[in-house]
Each structure stands twice: as C-alpha cells, then as structure tokens.
Structure 1
Amino acid sequence: MPLLPGAEPYRHHGGPVGILVCHGFTGSPFSMRGWAERAAAEGHSVSLPLLPGHGTHWKDLNTTRWPDWYATIEREFLSLSEECDQVFVFGLSMGGLLSLHLAAQQGDRLSGLVLVNPLVVMPGQAHVALPVVRHLVPSFPGIANDVAKPGVEEGGYTRTPLHAAHSMKQLTKIVQGELPTVKQPLLLFRSPKDNVVAPSSGKMLLERVGSQDVEERLLERSLHVATLDYDAETIFDGSVDFVRRLTVPAAKG
C-alpha cells in the first residue's frame, strides 16, 4: 500500500542532543513535520518515525497493536541514545501516550518530555463497548482534522479502526498506572477546545505524574492537532526553550 502524501518518516543527523517526535493515532509524520524540522534547525538530531499501520489505509492499522507502535518508538529512542548525549521526546495525542510509556521504561536515560494534547484517558463513553463492538464492525468515523485554522488537514485516516482503538485503550490503562514513575521534566501544551482528547487526560496526567519539573501551557486558539494550528509556533518555540534549558549545562560542545 503506497504512503499517503507527507506520511514519510523524517530523520536528521545533527548535534549531541536528540529529539524523538511521535505522531498520533490514525495520523502520520505529516502533522509533526514542522515541529521536527524546527528541532533540526536548532542543530539537534531528530527522528520522526512512521508508526506501523499508519500513513497508508485504516485497514492496515487494524492489523497492528500498541506493542507494534511502541517497538518503533523504542527502537528510534535507542538509536538516538547511541549517537547523542541526551534524548528528549515530543509527542502529540497517542504519541504522547507512547512517550509517557517510554519515559516510564527508560527512566533517566530520557531527559524530558514535551507533550501536546496527550491521550491518557479514553474520551467519551463509546470506548466502553469496544471489546464487543470491534468484533461486529471494523471501524467508526474518523477523528482526523480537528484543526481551527481554515484549509488545514492533517492527512489522517477517515475511519477509526476498532481493533487498534481497543489496543490503544489497553495502553491507556497501563500508562495510568505508570504515571507516578514518570519523573522526567515535563512541558504540557493543552488545547481547552480539543474535540478529540477530553480535559480529563490532562487533569489525570498533572495529578499523577511523578515529575517535579512540570509546566502546563494552554493553547487557546487551537484544537486537537495544535502542531498544525494557530499555536504551532508557540509549541515550537516553547519546546526549543525547554530543551535548551535542560541541555546547556550538559551537552558537549
């Protein structure tokens, strides 16, 4: 199955600070490319992988599960760790969920997280029926393109595959239990008008995470895919400053 336009992974070999960038469920690197390129322009080494089952057709995603997505994230993190002194992770939505799981597994090998509208709690009530409904119908209408800026599309799937969604739900339960063990510095960007991830995700994250260095910034003009929305530059600038603050004393010149 050919890749959708803009879904290609992105890799940049730069300096001693590594940035791993994680896209969301049913999305692709397209929604994160600007963020990754900004990190590269700062001189960092950057990896923005395409998660298995994404960037082609929603039926492909329905044959994958969260360990498949996480394996890709972990592989890229380990690759960056081999060539860099420090590695940070940037994640959007489910990419934020995967980032939190990575942080819990890797401990102080991961230097910090910047998360945009991370999924920690499944939204609404429809997910309650997933264990049964996923065996009756393959998909629901898609969740892509929650962007306030006119004319912007993220290139995500038009359908939400239910076997994959059920697996993502299983990962939320795992990560909810791991949050107290996540102790890395954390910068959270959150859109109050997010139509995909409910406020309960941000609330649980801030209440349970074990990090002492935590900051939340609200994206008042943007919807869920804020990396393509009005506040994109706010995210890019804030993440660059966050990384700079945590690496200037440690990175090798």
Structure 2
Amino acid sequence: MPVLPGAEPFAHDGSEDIGVLLCHGFTSTPQSMRAWGEHLAAEGWTVRCPRLPGHGTSWRELERTRWRDWYDAAEGSLQELQARCRSVFVFGQSMGGTLALRLAQQHPEIAGLVLVNPSVTTRRRTAALLPVLARVVPSIAGLGGDIAKPDAVELCYDRTPLRALASLRELWQLVRAELGTVRRPLLLYRSAVDHVVEPVNSTLVLDRVAGTDVTEVVLQDSHHVATLDHDAATVFAGSVEFVQRIDRVGEVA
C-alpha cells in the first residue's frame, strides 16, 4: 500500500563509531521520531529509524501484522548498524520501547537503551478479552496523538486494529518475563501525565531490569508522545549526554 506522506523511514550515514536505532510506537510512524533522529544525526552519528511493518499506510494493513514482523524489522536495522558501527544504542518510544527491551534481551552487546514511555503491560480491564474481541471487532478508536503541545501533530492511525493489539500484548508478556536479563545502561523518560501508557509500565521496567546504571527522568510538561511535545528538547539533549557518557566509559574500559 502507498506510504502516507511523512511516514517514510529515517536514515543518516555518519560516524562508524556510534550508531543509534530508533523504534517508533504502535500505530505511529517514523514521523514521531524524525526530529530526534535529526538531532542525533547532527552529532555526526549513524541513525536508522525503520517504518515498522503495517505502519504508515492503513490500519487494515497493520491488522495483518504481528509482533514478530515489527521485531524482525527492528532487528534487521540493528544488525545493519552493528555491521557498520563500533557501538550501537537503541532508543524507543511506547511500543518502540518494548521492542528496544526485547532487542536488549536478545542482543546483550547493545551499548545502551533510551526509552520514552515504554509499554510492557496495561491495567485496562478489556486487555484480557483482546483475543476474543479481536475475532468479532476489527478495530477501536485510535490511541495516538496524546500530546500536550497545541500545535504538535502525530502522524498515526485513527483506528487501533485489535488483532495487532492482541499480538502486542503477547510481546509485553514475553518482555516482562525476561526483564531481568537486561543489563545494559538504561535511561528512561516518563511523562507525568500519560493518557496511553500507565505509570506502572515504567515502574515494572525500572524494578526488574538487572543493570546498575539505570536512570528515570520524569517529564512534567509532556503527554505520551514526548518526542513531539514540550519536553522534546530535554529528551534529545539527555539522550546525547547519555550516549557520550556510556561510550566514554566503554573506551576507558
């Protein structure tokens, strides 16, 4: 299907020292990560932000995809960066954070993670009914566009396909079960007000990962899509400082 204007993947070839993989959220597109990617590219780093399968076209196409499709695309970009760069970091927002955690579980050689409002669970009562509901209800109202900044817009679907959402729930379960295998440095940004991902998600991640270099930053002026919100500059600058610090420690070691 034709890709929506603005939903194209982002790629920049820079340094062979540092590479960064960006993973966007469920029903969203690389548009939500592009400004972040451009900021990282301005540092001279090599950056990849793939358009995950089923995203950036039609929610009906997303309905036909599953979490392994999204993971495989992210892993392919990771491997491309690893073949080119000495040190590779993975950044993810929302479901992109879920994918980043899974990549860290499967690829412990990743240098570090930066997560923005990552999702690993939900307390909504309907979640347990998703496998059944998905058989009779194709979609529900969209989850995207949760931004406090009035003039900011997220390019995302206005419908949420339930079969794909049920598959995301399976990924959550897998990632939660193996959070203790994540040992790499982690910087987690959590919005104080998030209408999509509950605070328990960040709590679970912070409490269960095994790394000793783990930092949480609470964003007071942004909602879920913080990379397009008031605190975007804070996220961008902090992620650069994080990479520089971790890479510097690695060089000394």
Name the TM-score, length of structure 1 as normaliser: 0.97
d(CA) in 2 for partners of 1:126 and 1:30?
29
Which residue number in structure 1 is paired with residue 101 of structure 2? 100
Cα offsets for 1:129-151 (capped at 9, x unmatched): 10100000100100010000002
**After superposition, where does 1:227-246 map in structure 2 within 5 Å?**
227-246=227-246
Which residue number in structure 1 is paired with residue 159 of structure 2? 159
Which residue number in structure 1 is paired with residue 92 of structure 2? 91
Which residue number in structure 1 is paired with residue 113 of structure 2? 113
d(CA) in 2 for partners of 1:250 and 1:112?
11
d(CA) in 2 for partners of 1:77 and 1:195?
30
Which residue number in structure 2 is paired with residue 189 of structure 1? 189
Say whether 1:51 aligns with 2:52.
Answer: yes
Q: Gapped runs of 5+ residues in structure 1?
A: none
RMSD of aligned Cα (Å): 1.1
d(CA) in 2 for partners of 1:243 and 1:125?
38
Count of residues in correspondence between the two structures: 251
Displacement of 1:6 after TM fit? 1.0
Cα offsets for 1:14-56 (capped at 9, x unmatched): 1110000000000000000000111110010000000000000
Say whether 1:171 aligns with 2:167.
Answer: no
Which residue number in structure 2 is paired with residue 31 of structure 1? 32
SS in 2 for 1:140: strand
Cα offsets for 1:131-186 (capped at 9, x unmatched): 10000010010001000000211010000000000000000000001100000000
Displacement of 1:249 after TM fit? 5.0
d(CA) in 2 for partners of 1:204 and 1:142?
25
d(CA) in 1 for partners of 2:160 and 2:45?
34
Say whether 1:66 aligns with 2:67.
Answer: yes
Are 1:123 and 1:197, in contact at CA under 8 Å, matched by a contact in 2? Answer: no
d(CA) in 1 for partners of 2:5 and 2:156?
10
d(CA) in 2 for partners of 1:250 and 1:114?
17
Cα offsets for 1:103-136 (capped at 9, x unmatched): 00001x1000000000011241221110100000
Are 1:123 and 1:196, in contact at CA under 8 Å, matched by a contact in 2? Answer: no
d(CA) in 2 for partners of 1:235 and 1:191?
11
Q: Gapped runs of 5+ residues in structure 2?
A: none
Q: Which moved more, 1:17-26 or 1:126-135?
A: 126-135
d(CA) in 2 for partners of 1:153 and 1:127?
27
SS in 2 for 1:91: strand
Say whether 1:134 aligns with 2:134.
Answer: yes
Moved over 4 A (4+): none
SS in 2 for 1:248: helix
SS in 1 for 2:212: coil
d(CA) in 2 for partners of 1:5 and 1:29?
11
What is the letter of the counterpart of residue 67 of structure 1?
Answer: R
What is the letter of the counterpart of residue 68 of structure 1?
Answer: D
Q: Which moved more, 1:93-102 or 1:148-157?
A: 148-157
d(CA) in 2 for partners of 1:121 and 1:249?
33
Which residue number in structure 1 is paired with residue 23 of structure 2? 22
SS in 2 for 1:134: helix
d(CA) in 1 for partners of 2:68 and 2:210?
24
Say whether 1:180 aligns with 2:180.
Answer: yes
Which residue number in structure 2 is paired with residue 12 of structure 1? 12
SS in 2 for 1:172: helix
Displacement of 1:197 after TM fit? 0.2
Are 1:115 and 1:187, in contact at CA under 8 Å, matched by a contact in 2? Answer: yes
d(CA) in 2 for partners of 1:174 and 1:65?
14
| Identity %, equivalent residues | 51
